[in-house]
Chains A and B, each alone.
Chain A
């Protein structure tokens, strides 16, 4: 080959400049900032592990960390399981099914701000949710879903789940369509019930999609921000605050850039654990790195 050895790099240059300037360099800078007391006004001064120590001593940090994990524990299983049923429901060759698939996808394409506004209205004291639960006899007095410390974070979680359903449904739909129909026909002949078929055929063959959805939804649950910003502002009394919201406030409201960076590094370490599982899984499944 008489090719110029620089050619591959010429193609890589534009992309690598962007990634370098907006990911690699900021990454190192963020780690450096986490060891300083930088606050925009004064120059950064190296303070060692003080930020990390302060984080560990801040009860609010532990509270938001706990709430972030609570988010993970509730939202991830819901987003792994519920869209499977939706996908089974829309994986039918019947008239108008395209309409239903589209309708379920609409929350995915709509901005979280509008989703938040719409749900604030649903959750209002005199809102639809209280009315329905009241009519069904589940509650006797209207619940202040977003303004009560015991319900706010759960109310926001429902919105996160609701907005994600359509997206993961489509991922499962792709998985379902790769399962051959004969398997179900054979099971039908053997007289297996629909539930047995789901449990013994659909779920095992859907495993790769289930893994992908688990990882994707865990990583996105770690980063929840907008729905909280729009619907509760983290309140009342920090009851719906998560790690990213905390980082945002420390950095851009209190201007504690160094301290917020340390919290960011913690977020990174937690995300890293999920990502390592991700890479391990992808490596095994598709051998992507070697290609």
Chain B
């Protein structure tokens, strides 16, 4: 844990300074840094760890003991086995995957299609169109949810994937992000492709899209997180529980087993596993994406 030698080495790689001897003060400082980091980690993941601990406690154990017992006396997976009987995890997972993946794909295509002329063509009304699109970022979904709900009812979109996906299929943020990405690419590329006989669609798909992959990744992660975690809209548009996404599924579970904390805890842990796994694999992109999103707008 206390590895001041590594600390010194790392700093030196970036900032060659005369090597200072390893002092007592330095050891204390490094321990203090790691101590603080671990303390904050405990605050940030503590509630989840306690949920995990509860989910692993057997029925014979008092989960309301005071002082709270963190480590289960005997770890059991029985709660998980039993909760799977009431909690159609695979069904909810499937719904969440369909909704999120299709939302991401539609956003990539629609946002970058719309961003292309806004970044690289001259036409009448361009500024007006762009300002109109950007201004939609100011409109809270909570104002729109009533008319969108009425519209979705009329279009027969209640309890359908289309109803969950379409309202989020294009976002002003996505158009803005893709436009910024297209603006950074030299114009000469378009011109030379046009000389070779490429049309606008081919330029967009074959030349520009491959060059903005990092922005596509950022857009995908943002959209995915939005779609995966969305709660309010699915809550409104769905009343058929077989169409529920994971957050709604867990919410129902919590409602119907309000007395059985072990089941609720187990169901909650199962429901966050997929996103935690995706995050663990792609965490670099998640964090880089959030940083880029912030810098860009």
Chain A contact residues, CB within 8 Å of chain B:
3, 5, 7-9, 11-12, 14-16, 18-19, 21-27, 29-30, 33, 86, 89-90, 92-95, 97-98, 100-115, 117-119, 121-122, 124, 126-128, 131, 135, 162, 165-167, 170-171, 173-175, 181, 185, 209, 212, 222-223, 225-226, 229-230, 244, 247-248, 251-252, 257, 260-261, 264-265, 267-268, 271-272, 275, 278-279, 282, 286, 288-289, 291
CA–CA, A261 to B151, complex, Å? Answer: 15
Q: Is the CB of B138 within 8 A of A171?
A: no
Partner of A112, one of B3, B117, B136, B247: B247
Q: Is the CB of B144 within 8 A of A26?
A: yes
Whether a CB of chain A sits under 8 angstroms from the CB of B192 is no
CA–CA, A12 to B172, complex, Å? Answer: 12
Residues of A within 8 A of B41 (CB): 100, 103-104
In whole Å, how far is A72's beta carbon from the nearest beta carbon of chain B? 14
Q: Is the CB of B113 within 8 A of A14?
A: yes
Cβ proximity bits B255-292 to A, threshold 8 Å, 1 near / 0 not: 00000010011001001100110011001001100111
In whole Å, how far is A247's beta carbon from the nearest beta carbon of chain B? 6
In whole Å, how far is B68's beta carbon from the nearest beta carbon of chain A? 5
Whether a CB of chain A sits under 8 angstroms from the CB of B7 is yes
A sample of 28 cross-chain residue pairs with beta-carbon separation below 8 angstroms, ordered by A number, consists of: A11-B114, A11-B116, A12-B114, A12-B117, A14-B114, A14-B170, A18-B169, A22-B166, A22-B167, A24-B136, A26-B151, A93-B13, A94-B6, A94-B10, A107-B44, A111-B246, A121-B265, A128-B46, A170-B291, A209-B294, A225-B231, A229-B231, A264-B140, A268-B139, A268-B140, A271-B140, A282-B297, A291-B119
Task: Report B61-84 residues with CB < 8 Å from chain A CB.
Answer: 64-68
Q: Is the CB of B225 within 8 A of A111?
A: no
Stretch at the interface among B18-26, B121-129, B212-220: B121-129
Whether a CB of chain A sits under 8 angstroms from the CB of B202 is no
CA–CA, A126 to B68, complex, Å? Answer: 7
Partner of B144, one of A27, A113, A115: A27
Chain B contact residues, CB within 8 Å of chain A:
3, 6-7, 10-11, 13-15, 30, 33, 36-37, 40-41, 43-48, 50-51, 54, 64-68, 109-111, 113-114, 116-119, 121, 123, 126-127, 129-134, 136-151, 166-167, 169-170, 172, 175-176, 179, 183, 200, 204, 225, 228-229, 231-232, 236, 246-248, 250-251, 254, 261, 264-265, 268, 271-272, 275-276, 279-280, 283, 286-287, 290-292, 294-295, 297
The 8 A-B pairs of least Cβ separation, nearest first, read: A15-B114, A8-B117, A275-B138, A174-B291, A26-B147, A264-B143, A29-B147, A171-B294
Q: Is the CB of A118 within 8 A of B147?
A: no
Partner of B51, one of A117, A131, A209: A117
CA–CA, A110 to B132, complex, Å? Answer: 33
CA–CA, A58 to B43, complex, Å? Answer: 40
Residue of B nearest to A212 (CB): B294
CA–CA, A197 to B290, complex, Å? Answer: 26
Q: Is the CB of A30 within 8 A of B10?
A: no
Q: Is the CB of A22 within 8 A of B254?
A: no
Q: Is the CB of B66 within 8 A of A89?
A: no
Residues of B within 8 A of A229 (CB): 231
Residues of A within 8 A of B46 (CB): 122, 128
Q: A174-B294, A223-B140 are in contact. Are A119 and B126 (CB under 8 A)?
A: no
| A contacts with B: majority SS | helix
In whole Å, how far is A217's beta carbon from the nearest beta carbon of chain B? 12
Residues of B within 8 A of A124 (CB): 64
Partner of B64, one of A90, A126, A223: A126
CA–CA, A117 to B144, complex, Å? Answer: 28
Q: Is the CB of B144 within 8 A of A109?
A: no
Residues of A within 8 A of B113 (CB): 11-12, 14-15
Most chain A CB inside 10 Å of its own CB: which residue of B33, B114, B147, B251? B147
Residues of A within 8 A of B183 (CB): 291
Q: Is the CB of A14 within 8 A of B110?
A: yes
CA–CA, A56 to B111, complex, Å? Answer: 40
Q: Is the CB of A33 within 8 A of B254?
A: no
Q: Is the CB of B47 within 8 A of A122?
A: yes
In whole Å, how far is B98's beta carbon from the nearest beta carbon of chain A? 17
Residue of B nearest to A245 (CB): B142
Q: Is the CB of B44 within 8 A of A111?
A: no
Residue of B nearest to A178 (CB): B295
CA–CA, A239 to B246, complex, Å? Answer: 29
CA–CA, A110 to B228, complex, Å? Answer: 9
Residues of A within 8 A of B50 (CB): 118, 121-122, 128
Q: Is the CB of A111 within 8 A of B231?
A: yes
In whole Å, how far is B159's beta carbon from the nearest beta carbon of chain A? 15
In whole Å, how far is A244's beta carbon from the nearest beta carbon of chain B? 5
Residues of A within 8 A of B134 (CB): 279, 288-289
CA–CA, A244 to B144, complex, Å? Answer: 12
Q: Is the CB of B144 within 8 A of A111?
A: no
Most chain A CB inside 10 Å of its own CB: which residue of B50, B114, B183? B114
Q: Is the CB of B279 within 8 A of A106?
A: yes
Partner of B268, one of A16, A104, A114: A114
Residues of A within 8 A of B121 (CB): 7-8
Residues of B within 8 A of A175 (CB): 294
Q: Is the CB of A267 within 8 A of B142?
A: yes
In whole Å, how far is A114's beta carbon from the nearest beta carbon of chain B? 5
Q: Is the CB of A289 within 8 A of B130?
A: yes
Residue of B nearest to A117 (CB): B268
